[in-house]
Structure 1
């Protein structure tokens, strides 16, 4: 947490003994211990209070999975592109067979189907939500 190795710790203790003095050092060490105990109890009470206020709904959450350091957009895209094809959506065996090479190549098989050709003389289709 503090990344202090043994040599640095010994040097810090030596400086503390020289600056504070051997007469007052036990008093300051005791005071530091009390602060550490108070801080530990404060953190524990805070954790308990947060758990009580959030309830049982969030006790089962895997917080490690939500860690942003584990976020890998390449993995997420790869998993989304290589998902299993839907079987009950009316897709024919031919479309599933033609989609397999696309999924293996890493491209999306979910390309939109072209709109049917309008009848001759009919107005062009208009999408009012697209404009």
Structure 2
């Protein structure tokens, strides 16, 4: 594992986590729902600009394979959406994760694998600032 996946797995605190950005305002996340639609999962949540200035936020979606038969990272970035909000305003964000977002490449099996089981979905502003979580059985 390399990059943020290595730091997360080894519990090393980087100076700037993956996805970290600076802003003149602050954002809050709420109301996460997950709807499995065929071979995709649709995550819907609300992002609110709680600061005094307008600003942009990149909402990031990470997936953690809870029951993997192989060693997997604690979280992997699988989707994101950039939103621009005026001070005090909110918007509903939807991120679609196709079935491929839950697969991993298995060296043992020499191919892409989708193992059925539990996944944890994490939403936040960086790899170390995930504010909402939901469980999904695939």
TM-score (norm 1): 0.17
Task: Give me the TM-score of the superposition, normalised by structure 2.
Answer: 0.16
Larger helix proportion of the pair: 1
Higher RCO (CA < 8 A, seq sep 6+): 2
